[in-house]
Amino acid sequence: MKVTLKKKLSFGFLAAVLGSLIIAGFISNVMINKLFSTYLKNENNSKIDKAVTMVSELYDENNKLSDSAKQQLQRYSQMENMCIEILDSDGGQIYTSGIPNHNGMKNMGAMMGHGMHSLMTKNNGDYTEEKHDLIKGSKKAGTIVCGYFSSSLMTNGAVTFIMTLNKSFVISAIIALIFGLLLSIMISNQLSKPLVEITHTANEMRNGNLQLRSDVNSSTKEIQDLSLSINYLAETLNHQEIYRKRMTSDMAHEIRTPLTVLKTHVEALIDGIWEPTTEIFESFYEEIERLNKLVDNLRDLSKLEESKLNLIKCKFNLSDEINKIILNFKPLFDKSNFNLMCEIDDNINVIMDKDKLNQIMQNIIFNAYKYLNTNGTVLVSLKSKHENAIIKVSDTGAGISEEDLPHIFERFYRSDSSRDTHTGGSGLGLTITKTLVEAHSGSISVNSKLGHGSEFTIVMPVVVANKNN
Ligand code: ADP
């Protein structure tokens, strides 16, 4: 059975209060009883001491005990609920007060004599006798026997005290319980209310409402963190949803263009408008190639996003590798009358996946080539700075507008001008390049001015000479 947090917390608090009350009540009861019985015993001892002193003073060796002395002792015995008995040195009874005020047994002791008490103990608790020497002129003249029932220790005052104490225990327990109940309801409300609100937000999100945010403001750190996390989750999901929609429409758009071109060309051939010439088949091939490249790029991207990127890293000379890449691009640039120049520092070593480096450099250099104007120049430079290799690819091409610049690394992002001119791009090249660079713990940035050209900078950690690999 599932119990709500509010109920669980309330019952928990109540159980804690009740438990504490029982433990505190038990311990204080035991302690007070112990102290109280010690106090009562001390009181009784002082009564007995007083009785002994009184008898010693009143007892006259010749006259034994005067009548007034007997009356005085009788009064004292009555007052203190105590039996006072005086025995001579042979054990003969000189005087006994009897046991006063116990269930009508007054003076029964006088009738029954010493050792009469067994019958009476039943109702009045244990009967105890204490014997003290009766000293007269530093000689033992007899024995004073003081007897009392254990119940007589409990004076009216003592009973009232114990009852008041118990009463105050019960009252304070009830007050503590009510207070605990109110406090537990208050605290459990305070804790459960924001959680209920956050759950409501999460349920709304589950039903597709990704615009809703939790506005819970709690002084409990964990609840505040949970609220922030839920909002962050909503933000991320919303972002992903927008991205998914944009990606689908971008993909549809990118695929539709070559397909439309192919369709219209094939229709023209079927209708006999066009003759099937080599040029026409070449243009078919170009569009199919474009589709192929798009599919390849999409596959690369999905691999990168799923972190399935398997980097086969090795240590190699970056300077030599970049020189080779530039050499491979030379014929393409020459063919279009573009200049491809380089400034490469020697012997810069890195630990990278060589194929991925090729992919990175080809993307950047080919982009520079695509947006070059007549007689344009591309300069590739490599320098080492602060344990980093700095690769720069600058061109004198079309440049990128200020509005486009922050977005060019986003998926499918292409500037309007590049959409207009037939560059054959899909807007995925720089996204893949950036992911590859970052997978090697490097970074990529761009500087560009529309109409003047662009400069892409890649920073890669180098292998320091004494760090052998
Ligand atoms: P594409 O395949 O369209 O070139 P990229 O991701 O490589 O896609 O580039 C994204 C956009 O960045 C391009 O459409 C283009 O507008 C801009 N861009 C990239 N490199 C350059 C450059 N060297 N000169 C001018 N614009 C560039």
Q: Say whether 213 sits in a helix, a strand or coil.
A: coil
Contact 376 CB / ligand 1 (< 6 Å) = no
Nearest-Å Rg of the Cα atoms of the chain is 53
pLDDT value for 422:
57
Nearest to 158 by CA among 146, 150, 170, 169: 150
pLDDT value for 135:
86
84-124: pLDDT as tens digits:
999 888 888 888 988 765 444 444 444 444 444 444 444 56
Question: CA dihedral in degrees (303, 307, 310, 315; nearest 10)?
Answer: 120
pLDDT value for 104:
40
Indicate which residue's Cα is closest to atom 14 of ligand 1. Answer: 414
DSSP bridge partners of 314: 352
Distance, in Å, from the CA atom of 419 to the CA atom of 253, rounded to the nearest integer, reads 12
Distance, in Å, from the CA atom of 180 to the CA atom of 184, rounded to the nearest integer, reads 6
pLDDT value for 441:
93
**Backbone angles phi and psi of 17, in degrees to 5:** -65, -45
User: Which atom of ligand 1 is nearest the CA belonging to 368?
Assistant: 23
Stated as kind and residue range, the H or E segment containing 147 is: strand 139-149
Contact 371 CB / ligand 1 (< 6 Å) = yes
Burial of 217 (0-12, 13-18, 19+ CB in 10 A): exposed
Distance, in Å, from the CA atom of 86 to the CA atom of 68, rounded to the nearest integer, reads 16
Find the 255 Cα to ligand 1 centroid distance in Å: 18
Contacts for 88-93: CB closer than 8 Å, 24+ residues apart: 88/141, 88/142, 89/140, 89/141, 89/142, 89/143, 91/143
pLDDT value for 114:
44
Nearest to 234 by CA among 215, 211, 216, 217: 211
Indicate which residue's Cα is closest to atom 4 of ligand 1. Answer: 425
Best residue for ligand 1 mutational test, from 414, 417, 437, 458 (most atoms within 8 Å of Cβ): 414
Q: Residues in the chain with pLDDT < 70? A: 61-63, 100-124, 307-308, 416-425, 465-469
Please report where in the chains the tokens 């070593």 appear, as a residue. Answer: 349
400-427: pLDDT as tens digits:
999 999 999 988 887 766 665 555 667 8
Nearest to 440 by CA among 464, 459, 465, 467: 459
